[in-house]
Each structure stands twice: as structure tokens, then as C-alpha cells.
Amino acid sequence: MKKTLIILAVVLLLIPTLHASKGLNVRFGFLSPSATKIGIFPGISYGFNVDNIVDMGIGGDFFYRNERQTRTISVSETPGGTEVEQKQVGSDLTTYYVPLMATVRIGVPADLPVIPYGGLGLGWGLLWEKVFIAEDTSVEPPNEKIDEINFYNGFNWTIQLGARYPLSPNASFYGETFYNGGKMKKDIEKGAEGITWDEIDMSGLGLRLGIEVRI
């Protein structure tokens, strides 16, 4: 039901843009989610400029974060006396997160070199978590080997505050701060004790810079 409402909202948002001028938005930034550390957050969207103040668009962003821990398992020397350490990956955790959203941004009319704006986005998030933990019998209790990829998804939203600086009639540079709201879920089950699920909270603040080009 929630997915159906999101699709309907996206369609209604895009109806007024059928005869609007088109634009491409490319951006790069960083997101600091609740469940993990800060990661890169590039994105791209295809937009519709309704007028000089309002624009709408659909697009996606890509969050990437990798954490790797290594350990030394042996030390030796070359014939020349140089010390050589043999390393092993103890753990490797990679998070791939893709929020896909329709957005609306409204500028503030002002006689300024830059145009302040606010925005709102709604959509759906997809998350893959790749986990590798090497077997380690040197600790108590021993670590068993884990090598798996888990998939999560869920409702996603964002609010944005930024400013746009026109470079030409068809191009603008912008910077914005934003809040990403999204709790990704998997393994939703109904049991005797109620509904249970696993969840990764990707909500958090972010910053990014971008270029808009009318095409």
C-alpha cells in the first residue's frame, strides 16, 4: 500500500511538468547516517523547470562506505634483512545505499546574486550490506567465518535547504544541506509475540554541491 501511494504521489508531481523545460542535475556530497559512519553520496537527477522558481525531478543518490580491519599473522625477513609482515583481512564491511526519489524545490524570489530554496523529496530506498569476517581461533570464543550480502529496503524522504548561483541562462551551481530520512528493513515476520524485523537507520544530515544544466 505504501509503495502504491508513493508511485501515485510521484505521478501527480510530474503531471505539471509535461510541457516544462528539462534539466540535468549532477551532484557530489557526503551523508552521515545514524547506523554507520560518514560516506560519499554522489547523485544524479532529471529535472523539470516549471518556472524560474519551481523545479521538480526524479533521480537517485549512491551512498558508499567501507570499513576494513587487517591483522598481522607472521613476520619474516628477506635475505637482505628487510622485515616483511604477512597481513590478513580480519573483517570487511561495505554498505551500498541507493535512495530513489521524486523531489520538488521552491526558490525564494530575491534581488540577490544567489537564489535561496527549500526542497522536499519522497521515494524508496535500497540498501545492500556486504559482510566478511574471517575465522579467528586465536580469540575466545573463536570467531566463525561470515561471508554474506544482506538486502534491506524501505520508505525514504528528504528535506533540503540551499542556494543556487546562476552561471549562465542555462546552467547553475548550487550548494545545499539536507536531512535524509530512511529506515531500511528486512525479514519482516509476524509471530505470536508480534511483528519483528531487522532495521538499518540511514537517517542523517548531509552536505553536497552540484551543477544544473538545462537541456
- Count of C-beta atoms within a 10 Å radius of residue 65: 19
User: Residue 19: inside a domain, yes or no?
Assistant: no
Extended beta strands in the chain, E state = 21-33, 39-40, 43-49, 54-61, 63-77, 83-107, 115-133, 146-168, 171-191, 194-201, 204-214
User: Residue 72: inside a domain, yes or no?
Assistant: no
Looking at the 3D structure of the chain, how many domains does it have? Answer: 1
User: Residue 78: inside a domain, yes or no?
Assistant: no
CA 202, CA 63: separation in Å to the nearest integer?
A: 10
Identify the H or E element spanning 56. strand 54-61
User: Residue 128: inside a domain, yes or no?
Assistant: yes
The domain that contains 59 carries what CATH number? Answer: 2.40.160.20
User: Residue 86: inside a domain, yes or no?
Assistant: no
Phi, psi torsion values for 82, nearest 5 degrees:
-85, 130
Burial zone of 184 (CB within 10 Å; 0-12 exposed, 13-18 middle, 19+ buried): buried
Dihedral angle of Cα 56, 27, 154, 65, to the nearest 10 degrees: 180
Q: Does 9 score more than 70 pLDDT? A: no
User: Residue 74: inside a domain, yes or no?
Assistant: no
User: Residue 81: inside a domain, yes or no?
Assistant: no
Q: Does 154 score more than 90 pLDDT? A: yes
> pTM surpassing 0.85?
no
Burial zone of 57 (CB within 10 Å; 0-12 exposed, 13-18 middle, 19+ buried): buried
Positive or negative: CA dihedral 37, 42, 48, 52: positive
Q: Does 104 score more than 60 pLDDT? A: yes
The domain in which residue 110 lies consists of: 2-14+24-64+96-214
pLDDT of residue 86: 85
Cell readout for 95 is: 554498505
User: Residue 30: inside a domain, yes or no?
Assistant: yes
Query: Among the ranges 76-85, 103-112, 202-211, which has the highest mean pLDDT value?
Result: 202-211
Cell readout for 24 is: 540535468
Positive or negative: CA dihedral 52, 20, 177, 119: positive
Between 13 and 125, residue with greater pLDDT: 125
